[in-house]
Amino acid sequence: MTLILGIETSCDETAAAVVEDGMWQHSNIIASQIDLHAQYGGVFPEVAARAHVEVIGVVVEAALDEARLTLNDIDAIAVTQGPGLVTSLLVGMNYAKGLALATRKPLLGINHLEGHIYSLWVNAESPIEFPVINLIVSGGHTELLLMTGHGAYEKLGGTIDDAAGEAFDKVGRLLELPYPGGPSIQKAAEGGNPTAYDFPRALIDGSYDFSFSGLKTAVMRAVRPSQKGKKRKAGEESLIEGEIRAGLSIRDVAASFQTAVVDVLVTKTIQAAREYGATEILMSGGVSANKLLREQMQVSSPVPVRYPVFQLCTDNAAMIATAGYYRYEGGQRDDLALDVRPTWYLDELSPINS
């Protein structure tokens, strides 16, 4: 039996978890900063880092308590090394190093995106056979990958501008809905007409890359009052100030926007699954919590589709502990000189020998 303690602080959740044999979740503690960041409508790195420092000790203790274990029982400490916000990553990394030093347990630096992928292995109901297609859709990433074995990834495409979750968050702000935008838009879209607006589906054919910035601009045009006679600054800030066209149906805009994003994600993922003969489609990341995305992927896919339970869609440490298990079994051991990697692509990882 191998017990891994996972620690995750790459963005705005402080999380710790204990997972046995890359599969059985003993605990999964998440201290969310959503309420803290909601007042600013987004994540401020310094604010996030300070909040991580305040709670990390308590969160790790709670993860051990809930698992009814002590640090002595743990075989290795897996921590998110990147990608993410450097100031946030450093809090988890330094804490994990302190634990590793004090307990002489092995330290493992884990890629956050590999963590999202391994969220599908946590409490999996049946074994996952390769090759699979991974769609990672979160606030920071939109990645389409072929996975041919543990730790073996080939990137097929990614976003060339905004991530899918970022598009939800920006459009949420445009529509003056509560942060984060994803769940708010999903809720606002209920009962809305998804064909009320014909928003663009960018790069829908011939490429596995994604682009969501044109869609965001199209939503802005639909939402804003007439621009005639008004001077507006170019650029991002002018997109997010208030001012919504009178009589606008927020529901219809939300439903049409959500459908446009889901169409693109589903079309490309299924095309990739067919082209590469995937046995399954695995979706992960915050946006994989989206109900319409789950439904549409399932009805359109020729192969089974898996997505994590809700608590494992958004950032958590059970996924880091699970990826950590496979890396540990593959022989990875890091030393205390390990540094964070704010930018770190999945295809830079080496496959796990098993």
Which residues contact ligand KG4 (rule: CB under 6 A)? 11, 138-140, 165, 168-169, 180-183, 186, 285-287, 289-290, 314-315
Candidates 122, 47, 107; CA nearest to 75 is 107
- Cα separation, 245 vs 218, in Å, equals 14
Tell me: does residue 143 bind Zn ion (CB under 5 A). no
DSSP character at residue 256: H
**Which positions from 96 to 125 touch Zn ion by CB under 5 A, shown as an x/- string?**
------------------------------
Tell me: does residue 280 bind Zn ion (CB under 5 A). no
Q: Is the omega angle on the peptide bond into residue 106 within 30 degrees of 0, that is, cis?
A: no
Closest distance between ligand KG4 and the C-beta of residue 23, in Å?
A: 21
Closest distance between ligand KG4 and the C-beta of residue 335, in Å?
A: 27
Binding at 203: pick from Zn ion, ligand KG4, none (beta carbon under 5-8 Å per type): none
Tell me: does residue 33 bind Zn ion (CB under 5 A). no
Binding at 106: pick from Zn ion, ligand KG4, none (beta carbon under 5-8 Å per type): none
Residue 165: CB partners within 8 Å, gap ≥ 6? Answer: 137, 138, 139, 140, 180, 182, 285, 286, 287
Query: Nearer Cβ to ligand KG4, position 106 or 181?
Result: 181
Binding at 324: pick from Zn ion, ligand KG4, none (beta carbon under 5-8 Å per type): none
**DSSP-derived secondary structure for 33-86:** -HHHHHTTTS--HHHHHHHHHHHHHHHHHHHHHHTT--GGG-SEEEEEEESS-H
Closest distance between ligand KG4 and the C-beta of residue 175, in Å?
A: 13
DSSP character at residue 340: -
Strands 76-82 and 280-284, bridge-based pairing: unpaired
Helices (H) and strands (E) in the chain, counts: 12, 10
Binding at 182: pick from Zn ion, ligand KG4, none (beta carbon under 5-8 Å per type): ligand KG4
List alpha helices for the chain, DSSP H.
34-38, 45-66, 86-103, 112-118, 164-174, 181-189, 213-223, 237-240, 250-275, 291-300, 310-313, 318-329
Query: Nearer Cβ to ligand KG4, position 72 or 310?
Result: 310
Neighbours of 85 (CB within 10 A): 23
Query: Nearer Cβ to Zn ion, position 138 or 290?
Result: 138
Tell me: does residue 315 bind Zn ion (CB under 5 A). yes
Closest distance between ligand KG4 and the C-beta of residue 308, in Å?
A: 10
Residue 233: CB partners within 8 Å, gap ≥ 6? Answer: none
Q: How many residues sit in the footprint of Zn ion (CB under 5 A)?
A: 2
**Which residue(s) pair with 28 in the sheet?**
17
Query: Nearer Cβ to ligand KG4, position 60 or 262?
Result: 262
Query: Nearer Cβ to ligand KG4, position 138 or 211?
Result: 138
Query: Nearer Cβ to ligand KG4, position 27 or 316?
Result: 316
Residues that bind Zn ion (CB under 5 A): 138, 315
